Amino acid sequence: MKEKQNLQLLSGNHAVSWGVKLARPHVAPLYPITPQTPILEKLTEFHSQGELDAELLTPESEHSAMSACVAASLTGARVFTATSSQGLLLMHELLHYASGARAPIVMFNVNRTPGSPWAFWPDQIDSLSQRDTGWIKMYSESPQESLDTVIQAFRIAEKLALPLMISHDAFYVSHAVEPVELPQQELVDNFLPAYNPELRLDTSLGQSFGAPIDQATWNRSRREAGEAMARVENEVLETGKAWGELTGRSYAALENYRTEAADTIIVTMGSMCGTVRDAVDALRDQGTAVGLLKVRQFRPLPVQTLRDSLAGIPSVLVLDRNYSPGMGGILHQELKSALFGMRDAPRVHGLLAGVGGVNVSSNKIQQLVAEYADAKPSNDSVWVE
């Protein structure tokens, strides 16, 4: 482990802005929304001070912001934007458009409850309901991870020509302040290859994008996107490892915490991981063999790695900070389908914990383990009181 240098106290959102600045995007269309706004304001501040040499656009809506992102990306620029909740939902049409166009935009989303009723609390339904839009989706649990992931995201997205969305939870991560190590510009410049797409809108090339096509060609375009998706996990792994060699902080698609010889594994995403680590430590101290499996890469879901990680584990608790009415917790459903047909599959308990931002304490998680570890699981996700 390298010695930490250049530490700064940063909120999760400001850590994102630092990551973006270090990645040197060419174009950043931005529209404000609580709790994303500090990302935007830090970037415009960097820009006005001459520290960020990018074309910043402030259009009238997130819909136009994402339209500009797609167009700028197809013209050959490295592109970043950030949003949250209503803004992400307003972009929905363009999210499909971006992935169909294979535009490697990097977007940061701050997970927040969508209206109605109006609320500003951490809940992942905004990004999870964009599950099928063809974006790579990653979840971060801390300011440092958000900064590191933004930089890695450009390398992954541009290599595979897929757009990539990273999310962190409102307030718990977006506004929580912690010491963050800022990498040197030179380090990032060496890590991130320049973006030079072969296909782009360029009058010297004459290529066009998005013209009407027949059924077979549309079909092929999605198959090709799927083939690129199949390469994501490996790319996330290699990129996370390369970053680790430079900074001492490695990353993977799924991350294990104290899962050795575990009887019960808790699976979750985002800020909940921090609380689970605390609960795992307390339970391990009491002699209970519990571990955490953190899902950092949600799309594509690393199915085989999930199966390998959970093989032989008697009991799995999924903590979902989201709720799909009529279906349940989305990670719960995804995990069940990922493990389907596995011999000796674990008992999977889906727990709706923290929906709407309600607090889930370490004590609560310890209680849940005691309550559910040996219980017979229900098909449906269960509300945690």
- The pairing of strands 382-383 and 80-84 is unpaired
Shortest reach from residue 110's CB to other proteins, in Å = 22
Shortest reach from residue 146's CB to other proteins, in Å = 25
Q: Which is nearer to other proteins, 62 or 148 (CB)?
A: 62
Alpha-carbon span 48 to 303, nearest angstrom: 44
* CA angle 164–64–39, rounded 5-degree value: 55
Residue 207 exposed, middle or buried by CB count within 10 Å (0-12, 13-18, 19+): exposed
- The position carrying tokens 């996700």 is 381
Contact (CB, 8 A) for 29 and 59: yes
Q: Which is nearer to other proteins, 54 or 164 (CB)?
A: 54
Shortest reach from residue 241's CB to other proteins, in Å = 31
Shortest reach from residue 174's CB to other proteins, in Å = 26
- 243 alpha carbon, distance to own chain's centre: 17
Shortest reach from residue 25's CB to other proteins, in Å = 9
Alpha-carbon span 309 to 178, nearest angstrom: 30
Shortest reach from residue 83's CB to other proteins, in Å = 15
Q: Which is nearer to other proteins, 69 or 153 (CB)?
A: 69
- Tokens matching residue 311: 């093989």
Q: Under the rule (CB under 8 A), what is the footprint of other proteins?
A: 26-27, 29, 54-55, 57-61, 63-65, 67-77, 79, 93-94, 97, 201-203, 205-214, 217
Q: Which is nearer to other proteins, 71 or 358 (CB)?
A: 71
Contact (CB, 8 A) for 165 and 126: no
Contacts of 177 (CB under 8 A, 6+ apart): 9, 10, 11, 143
Q: Which is nearer to other proteins, 68 or 182 (CB)?
A: 68
What residues does 28 pair with on adjacent strands? Answer: 56
Q: Which is nearer to other proteins, 106 or 338 (CB)?
A: 106
Angle, to 10 degrees, between the axis of helix 272-285 and the axis of helix 362-372? 60
What residues does 11 pair with on adjacent strands? Answer: 177
Q: Which is nearer to other proteins, 213 or 311 (CB)?
A: 213
Alpha-carbon span 204 to 100, nearest angstrom: 24
Q: Which is nearer to other proteins, 216 or 261 (CB)?
A: 216
Shortest reach from residue 188's CB to other proteins, in Å = 18
Alpha-carbon span 265 to 313, nearest angstrom: 7
Shortest reach from residue 102's CB to other proteins, in Å = 13
